[in-house]
Chains A and B, each alone.
Chain A
Amino acid sequence: MNLLRNCKLQASSLIESVMAIAIISICISMATLVYVKLLQSDYEIAYYKAKQKIALLHLETIEEQLFDDEVYGFESYSVTKQVKEYSPGINQVDFELKTNTKKETIHFLVKVTTIEETY
């Protein structure tokens, strides 16, 4: 600051003020740009919601042995469930999540349990 203070410039206060406002505007607009870019590249809330939903659907698949293909549509994301046989007694369950900016597939293996007859 002292260094800047010692550097004496002759200037008209009006032109100087205009220049200062211009510099600050450019600086702030660049900062805003950086901030927006950062926000965009982050994981959106819908992505976390979709992940939670997939965890829930996975548990539901195991517990209730639901092996049908399904599409689950929500306001900000969608989840597509696809089931295929992986090996005898094991099914591969794929969940594809789609948000506005991201698309990802998560694979699971689920054991097929046979419900035994009771007496």
Chain B
Amino acid sequence: MLKASSLLYAIFVCMIVSLLCGSLVIIFNYQYRLKKQYFLEEELVRASTTNFMQVINKRGELGAEGEVQFNDERFTTSYAISKWGFYNLVKTKTVFKKDTLYKAALIGGTSGKEKIALYLSDLDKPLNIGGATKIQGDVKISKYGVRPGHITNNNYTGTKLVYGAIGVSGKRLPVLQKFDDIASNQKITEILLEELDGKSLYNSFYKPTITVYADGAYDINNISLSGNIILQSKDSIYIKNTTALKDVLIKAPSVVFDANFKGVVQVFAKENVTLKKGAQLQYPSSIYIDHDSEDKIEILLEEKSMLAGGIVLTGNSYQSSLNRMVTIDKGASVMGDVYCYGKTQLKGKVIGSIYTDRFYLKTASSIYENYIVGGEINRLELPNNFIGLPLFSNENTNYELIKEL
């Protein structure tokens, strides 16, 4: 009999192999669970997107809060719909076990109504156009039609007066829907502008709205506000181009945006709003004034300024409509709708539609009524999927996503 240790080594090898096998099983198990988790998250995102689409599609039929489900009952999405400026704010929450997916977005309506380039109230005066004016799209104007205007050195240079069909308008502009409730979030946190002291402030749309009071501070500079925030003042405010504003609402009697300012804001003013040279209010921005006054109320877009979204200048009395004016200077542009219950001075470009009572033109030597010289209205250039302001109430409104917040 010889002493040998093969068995010993065999057992040792067995132990090593079983350790390897065991670690393989553990690694695989973790990897498998990770993959399962990944696929589940993918499903959660898909369910959230699908249910979000259902909420948007049924917006007209749904209440302010509720729940929706798709085929798979595992994923239930709760939603809340409120107002954020002109648009509807949809907040959804999809939960599955310990995973929760939040989604907030602005939605706006597109109606199947006629899409016109110009609606000019019938005040028994023709529309006169001169210079390089171009109107592309259907128009509704007074029964006196459109004529080439004769202003010194500014005779009409185009081949057709209107590149579209010409219809007859009514005595008044189409009735606007009311925009009383601009932020229907009940809970509001208030802070003073001084407290921010040049800092950045972001507020999620899942939290109570923050109102930043800027009373007594004329210049707004060196701050960054983003999200669920209302910048409010009882006085006029001048927003410097060192300010960064994104998705916020501004409530002040008079607002001036500094030259080359860039931001996304919805402005609700009372007296005046001015975009200085090169200022850009990016989509979805808007300016709204609903006010009657004996003083001049004006929305002014200076040279090379730009606004994407829409402008509404309105009021109740006809008398004060004579003091209301939207001016779009040469080189300035608006993408979206311009609704002005008053005068519109158009020297720049509107990609979209204009609804106005009358046009106005002031030159160095004279003032002309119902004249456009050098302005452009182009309804055809507006993308079909562009979501403008919900100006008119319409039962057949289809809601679309504007942007995720």
Residues of B within 8 A of A20 (CB): 6-7, 9-10
Which residue of chain A lies nearest to B400 when distances are taken between CB atoms in the complex?
A111
Which of B1, B4, B14, B35 contacts A27, CB < 8 Å?
B14
Residues of A within 8 A of B12 (CB): 1, 4
Distance in Å from the Cβ of A85 to the closest Cβ of chain B?
12
- Is B76 part of the contact surface with A, judged by Cβ < 8 Å? no
Distance in Å from the Cβ of A37 to the closest Cβ of chain B?
9
- Is A71 part of the contact surface with B, judged by Cβ < 8 Å? no
Distance in Å from the Cβ of A39 to the closest Cβ of chain B?
9
Instruction: Take A4-B8, A28-B17, A107-B70 as given contacts and tell me if A42 and B164 are in contact as well, using a CB distance cutoff of 8 Å.
Output: no
A1-41: contact bitstring with B at CB < 8 Å (1 yes, 0 no)?
A: 10011001111110011011101100110110011001001
Whether B18 and A42, one on each chain, are in contact in the complex, defined by CB atoms closer than 8 angstroms, is no
Which of A4, A10, A87 contacts B57, CB < 8 Å?
A87
Which residue of chain B lies nearest to A23 when distances are taken between CB atoms in the complex?
B10
Which residue of chain B lies nearest to A108 when distances are taken between CB atoms in the complex?
B50
Instruction: Take A19-B7, A31-B17 as given contacts and tell me if A108 and B46 are in contact as well, using a CB distance cutoff of 8 Å.
Output: yes
Residues of A within 8 A of B9 (CB): 20
- Is A109 part of the contact surface with B, judged by Cβ < 8 Å? yes
- Count class of interface residues, chain B: 35 or more
| Chain B, interface SS category | helix
A11 to B20, alpha carbons, bound, how many Å? 29
Which of B14, B53, B384 contacts A111, CB < 8 Å?
B53
Residues of B within 8 A of A30 (CB): 21
Whether B21 and A34, one on each chain, are in contact in the complex, defined by CB atoms closer than 8 angstroms, is yes
- Is A118 part of the contact surface with B, judged by Cβ < 8 Å? yes
- Is A74 part of the contact surface with B, judged by Cβ < 8 Å? no
Given contacts A23-B14, A24-B17, A116-B384, 14 further A-B contacts (CB under 8 A): A1-B12, A4-B8, A10-B1, A11-B3, A12-B1, A13-B6, A23-B11, A24-B13, A27-B14, A31-B21, A109-B54, A119-B136, A119-B137, A119-B380
Q: Identify the A interface with B (CB < 8 A).
A: 1, 4-5, 8-13, 16-17, 19-21, 23-24, 27-28, 30-31, 34-35, 38, 41-43, 87, 89-90, 92, 106-109, 111, 113, 115-116, 118-119
Q: Identify the B interface with A (CB < 8 A).
A: 1-14, 17-18, 20-21, 24-25, 28, 32, 35, 46, 50, 53-54, 57-58, 70-72, 136-137, 163-164, 380, 384-385, 398
